[in-house]
Structure 1
């Protein structure tokens, strides 16, 4: 069940709540077990979601998910949570409908909550609420879909409480000042994005015990790099410690162990085993890696989108890490049963690349599961990773086809590939007394010329060149 928190102390929250009630059919029930100010009183329910109102500000609420755990209360819209053993109507995700204040004009945004350093605005210092990376990704896409004209959509770093919510959660906000907080269109867009999260899991699916989730470090308060990851890859982002958050952590942590404990909690409360670090932070990278997490770059996230993580691990171990040039082909996104690594003739690959690098790259992208590259991934070097249905000979044939675009003939004889071409030979031309100049060009182009009353055919000044490639 999706829990939605509306704060009566937040004008934008109230307006979002009104739009929520308008765009779906809700059943009103009364909860007399809790004070009205603490989520009791009138409760609104629709299929897969429940709204409760609170008197206090969002960032001051603690264990707010407890208000939504209607154990023992009949709920026609929910089924028992057999996986976790939870009650039939226990929330799986909680969203705070809220305002955003700042100098960012028209903005719809979302972020998890917590404090990397001292807690100045709710929650506990050095603590985090459980993020909802997959739902966060979904809500960013939904906000972009529903945003009124003139509104930007963004993400923010982790920067305020509460830190004890009870279930995975995040703020979904209208910003950035009173005109926007009172804008019905903006409130409606946020309401629609919130309801789009019904049935959306907090976390990405588990793959061999891991998830496509990461913790972000570095950058400004608004996090365009991490937003780009969320929008353009299948990876999701949990907590983000912007530069100022990391400065706050440095000031608050009394020693290295406390610093490490906060970093560790950021991963635990993000359900993540990966980190993306912006800027030059070698000490932070060392800390992250010492805790057993992997620091990756944006290329890794893009390259592995859609590729099973266990396959990524295996191929990196067999060939090279992504940051050292490993690239994945289009078919790597499919289920891979059997595969093998094959070496390639360096000189043949280099010759084909020199003739048509784009054609070579296109074949490997379309036909190989993975392959090695250099020069920031632009030049294919091998080896190649092929599935069980494709033989090494297919790679050789593809490279031979590229050579055929320049050479007069390309033939394979056992373990040797021979490429033949006839070229204009200046030495032969000189022996025939042909002066350098335009006549060289005409002969090179296959045209006959006249020299001292003699007609010189182009074949007489061409010699055959044979390139041999050992396979």
Structure 2
């Protein structure tokens, strides 16, 4: 059940409340058990949601969830103030440092990463044409809500707070949260070892500015979502990350986001790791998109980390991941030759056949080893590499444990001996076309030699 909080002290919240009541069918009842300004009075109910109005600022309300009946998620309709122009935004609540706008110092409310992802997408769908959509860092109260919660806001000044189209967009996005769980479920099936938080695709965001385009981009382009976001200015307010206050905030960020992972780089990553959480890069997040997290942990332990060059192939993302795998090496010379012919095609050949494989040069140059499922022969990968060789060589054959690749190449010296001038004539002969020199036709076979290269199929 979704709870929706409207604050009469916030004009934008009031307008969003008006639009909420206009775009859905509500039943009303009177709740005399609570003061009118504390969520009592008229209560609005529709399937999957309950709306209550409060008289005070929503930033200052303590445990507002207690006013609602059986909710497991609270959405607060609010204004956003700033120099950002027309903007629809959403964020979790809490204070990374002193409580300047509601709540307690160094305290974070329970986040709802799954709901944040849902409402961000909904704001994109419903936003008026001239409005941007974004997410923000964790930056104000309340810090004691009672259930997972988020603010959904229209900004950034009076014209937007009074704009009925913007209020309607936020109202529709909030209603899209009905039946939305606050958190992603832990992964089930094969490769599900680890704690619940290690099996949820939920990140803590650390670093960056007040607005969070990097984390929003990750949410939009991968299957990961984001809980609390601790901006650089909040970390600066905490000071030394080794202090008890900083440790408390960091631990709260993971606990209240139900996450074991932080998207973070720089010195803060070391502190995150020292507390027993996993600091990951954006490359890691993107590379693990769609790959079971238990499998990621196992292969990183056995082969190499993603940041060291591990890449996952299509079979790791197709939903039929085997229960076991094996690690094999590729024929080094054959791989090097294929790479030299067409690095991109070689990469794609490995990605199409292997569960995972090693790379270097920033993940662009495939090097091996290979991670293969029990039903995938190493020969299948070799065949894919032979296809790459075939784009250069005239013939590619396997002779026992050796690949024999042959091609006809222009012998420059033979061509010169026959009086062929360098330049376009050489090009025609190299392309297999005859040329005429002093009235005599020179066929390409007269100046071509067959060259053969051999590549052993053993790894060494």
TM-score (norm 1): 0.90
Are positions 1:405 and 2:391 aligned together?
yes
Q: 1:300 offset after TM fit, Å?
A: 1.2
Unpaired runs of at least 5, structure 2: none
Deviation at 1:342, TM superposition (A): 2.3
Residue 297 of structure 1, aligned match among 281, 302, 309:
281
Q: How does 1:46-445 map to 2 (within 5 A)?
A: 46-68=46-68, 70=69, 90-207=70-187, 208=192, 209=196, 210=198, 211-250=200-239, 256-277=243-264, 281-282=266-267, 284-333=268-317, 334-337=319-322, 338-429=324-415, 432=417, 434=419, 437-438=422-423, 440-445=426-431
Aligned: 1:32 with 2:42:
no
Judge which range, 300-309 or 118-127, deviates more.
300-309
Once the two structures are superposed, what CA deviation does each residue of 1:276-300 show, in whole Å capped at 9, x if it has no partner?
125xx31x22210001111111111
Aligned mates of 1:453, 1:180 — CA distance in 2: 83
Q: Is the 8 A contact 1:109 1:154 kept in 2?
A: yes
User: Do residues 41 (structure 1) and 41 (structure 2) align?
Assistant: yes
1:4-43 matches, within 5 Å, as 4-43=4-43
Query: How far did residue 326 of structure 1 move?
Result: 1.4
Verify the 8 A CA contact 2:238 2:245 in the aligned structure 1. no
- RMSD of aligned Cα (Å): 2.0
Looking at structure 2, the residues matched to 50 and 276 of structure 1 have their Cα atoms a distance apart, in angstroms, of: 34
Give the conservation status (yes or no) of the 8 Å contact 2:6–2:14: yes
| Contact 1:117–1:250, Cα closer than 8 Å, also in 2 | no
- CA shift in 2, pair 1:95/1:407, >3 Å: same
C-alpha deviation, 1:218, in angstroms: 1.4
Identify if the C-alpha distance between structure 1 residues 245 and 446 changes in structure 2 by more than 3 Å, giving closer, same or farther: same
The separation in 1 between residues aligned to 2:344 and 2:90, in whole angstroms, is 41
Write the distance in 2 (CA, Å) between the matches of 1:103 and 1:444: 64
Separation in structure 1 between the aligned mates of residue 108 and residue 174 of structure 2, nearest angstrom: 22
Query: Deviation of residue 301 (structure 1)?
Result: 1.2
| Structure 1 residues 425 and 165: alpha-carbon distance in aligned structure 2, compared to 1, 3 A threshold | same
* CA distance 1:435–1:18, shift in 2 (3 Å): closer
C-alpha offsets along residues 302-337 of structure 1, whole Å, 9 cap, x if unaligned? Answer: 111111111111122222111112112223121312
Structure 1 residues 3 and 455: CA distance shift in structure 2, 3 A: closer
Q: How far does residue 391 in structure 1 lie from its aligned partner after superposition?
A: 1.0
- Residue 449 of structure 1: how far off its partner (Å): 5.9
Partner SS state of residue 307, structure 2: helix
User: Displacement, 1:457?
Assistant: 4.5
Give the deviation of 1:455 after TM superposition: 6.5
Contact kept? 2:262, 2:278, Cα under 8 Å: yes
Distance 1:449 1:234 in 2: 59
Whether the aligned pair in 2 keeps the contact of 1:374 and 1:380 (CA below 8 Å) is: yes
Whether the 8 Å contact between 1:216 and 1:277 is mirrored in structure 2 is yes
Q: Which residue of 2 aligns with 1:73?
A: none
* Alpha-carbon distance change, 99 to 460 in structure 1, aligned in 2, over 3 angstroms: same
Q: Secondary structure at the match of 1:324?
A: coil
Following TM superposition, by how much is the alpha carbon of 1:248 offset from its aligned partner in structure 2, in angstroms?
Answer: 1.2
Q: What TM-score, normalized to structure 2?
A: 0.92
Shift of the 100–443 alpha-carbon distance from structure 1 to 2, 3 Å rule, reads closer
Counterpart CA distance in 2 for 1:449 and 1:366 is: 43
